[in-house]
Chains A and B, each alone.
Chain A
Amino acid sequence: MTATREGATRASAGTPAAAEKRGMNLTLRIWRQSNPSVKGKMVTYKVSDISPDMSFLEMLDVLNERLIMDGDDPVAFDHDCREGICGMCGVMINGQAHGPQQTTVCQLHMRSFKDGDSIDIEPWRASPFPVIKDLAVDRRAFDRIIQAGGYISVPTGTAPEAHSTPVPKKDSDAAFDAATCIGCGACVAACPNASSMLFTAAKVTHLGLMPQGQPERDDRVVNMVHQQDLEGFGGCTNIGECSASCPKGISMETISRLNHDLLGALRAGVRPKS
């Protein structure tokens, strides 16, 4: 790791002229962990000549290109669409999920930082999200929560006639707000309890408000909450960090709705199938 650090510093020292022009010089402290079973640590890198118009991921790309040129191991991080809609990217930046703006890391731009800033970059930390390598974590726990929710009784095939199942505008809007959840995991990462409640609540709300989601509504909420407990997430204590860190701004209201549905279902005698 020492070699890497020196290599990166040497490479950055080679372009002082461009840095003077407009780029920013930054000190990055990045969590490096080569595999799930070893202990990781924070390693310091310097990057220079970073354009304020770059996205945060592009800044990491610049660092990685240099690390590769120097024959070092690039920093592993998840990313895919880079348009803020897929939910793949996500790291803790200076202690905040997705950094200082309420958006995804790919939509965070370097203009949110100042020249000379020191930036701490860590992976999501929760035992159901084990680190795969560096900043990449395994979020399959979310997939299993979705799977536990089961199916909805919708006939497949040709698209149905649009007006065959009327949905009140208010419900449709609220369901759509919840459905914007991209499953990035920022809620878990930001939660002091490492609870996945906002994620599960968004999924429960999104289907629970639609007429198509009614037949399995009780089973769905009971099974999804049961699965999230099985995965080892913490319990929700209504602090609100999740909603404030959510790139899609999913509201705390969804959690109340989940609780309401869950208590109703448990009272009606619905039990998790496991």
Chain B
Amino acid sequence: MTVTDSVRRRTPKAAKTNSVFKKVVMAVSGILMLLFLIAHMIGNLHVFQGAESFNDYSQWLRSFGEPALPPRTLLTAIEVGLLVSVVAHMWAAISLWRQAKRARPQAYVTKKSVVQSYASRTMRWGGVIIGLFIVYHILDLTFGVANPDGTDSTPYDRLVASFQNPIATTVYVVTLILLGMHLRHGVWSATQTLGQSNRRRERTVNAFAVAFATLLIAGYLVVPAAVVFGLVD
């Protein structure tokens, strides 16, 4: 049983971290990022109140609590929280990915999925794409270095300039739909991982996951849609 022996040799390392612990890290960091996504989506809607409101909101985030608190306190706290969450989420994902690879070194010649959703199938590569998008998104709209209007512009200008570019808009829309699917499986999976699902709740949890992901992503997509259709310029 050479296969078994080689597995044994590797196991102390593999078992150092409980596989369910990895999933809990995944679930908790995912929920934190999800809370941010809700706030971010609502914040974006300031765009419909005009340029001034949107730019003021951006400024308010930076000056929150002043003068009692130093500048950027709220923003820095959110940024640190998100960075920790992203790193933890990625660590758990990569670790589980590698564990799955080790657990099935020889692939099936023929493998059919019975119920696996497209959302759950795309969690890993979808996650990688979303990660790359976040980098571009920050360079584009926060720093402005990847923005058509450049760094010397207001947040509102950058948003409008970005969504007037068809390529940038397509990338945004496609990634956001991918994010919606990621959340659809993520919400369900986190509920399972944290032991909060059962047969009675299963349908409700899944229905909620679909409804929540759809609403959230719709909230994000109305902004580029408004720019493309000229409601915001």
Residues of chain B with a CB closer than 8 A to A29's CB = 109
- Let me know if A231 is at the binding interface, CB within 8 A: yes
Given A225-B20, A257-B198, A125:B104 Cβ within 8 A: yes
Chain A binding surface, main DSSP class: mixed
Q: Encode A213-233 as 1/0 by CB contact (under 8 A) with B.
A: 000000000000110111111
Residues of chain B with a CB closer than 8 A to A241's CB = 113-116
How many CB-defined contacts (below 8 Å) exist between A and B?
165
Residues of chain B with a CB closer than 8 A to A72's CB = none
Report the Cα distance A255→B19, complex, angstroms.
13
Measured CB to CB, the closest approach of chain B to A229, in angstroms, equals 4
Residues of chain B with a CB closer than 8 A to A255's CB = 192
Report which of A122, A235, A236, A243 forms a contact with B108, defined as CB distance below 8 A.
A122
Task: Check B100–A192 contact: CB distance below 8 A.
Answer: yes
Task: Check B103–A126 contact: CB distance below 8 A.
Answer: yes
Task: Check A259–B193 contact: CB distance below 8 A.
Answer: yes
Interface-lining segment among B1-9, B74-82, B169-177:
B1-9
Residues of chain B with a CB closer than 8 A to A237's CB = 23, 96, 120, 123, 189
- Let me know if B107 is at the binding interface, CB within 8 A: yes
Residues of chain B with a CB closer than 8 A to A147's CB = none
Chain B binding surface, main DSSP class: helix
- Let me know if A74 is at the binding interface, CB within 8 A: no
Task: Check A253–B102 contact: CB distance below 8 A.
Answer: no
- Let me know if A244 is at the binding interface, CB within 8 A: yes
Interface-lining segment among B10-18, B33-41, B128-136, B144-152:
B10-18
Question: In the complex, which range does the number of interface residues on chain A fall in?
Answer: 35 or more
Report which of B4, B108, B117, B196 forms a contact with A138, defined as CB distance below 8 A.
B4
Report the Cα distance A256→B15, complex, angstroms.
21
12 residue pairs from A and B, CB less than 8 Å apart: A127-B103, A192-B116, A193-B103, A231-B7, A237-B96, A237-B120, A240-B120, A241-B116, A253-B198, A253-B202, A256-B191, A258-B20
Residues of A within 8 A of B (CB): 29, 31, 36-37, 42, 92, 94-96, 120, 122, 125-128, 130-131, 138, 190, 192-195, 225-226, 228-241, 243-245, 251-253, 255-264
Query: Besides the contacts A94-B112, A95-B108, A194-B100, what 5 more A-B pairs have beta carbons closer than 8 Å?
Result: A94-B110, A122-B110, A241-B116, A259-B193, A259-B194
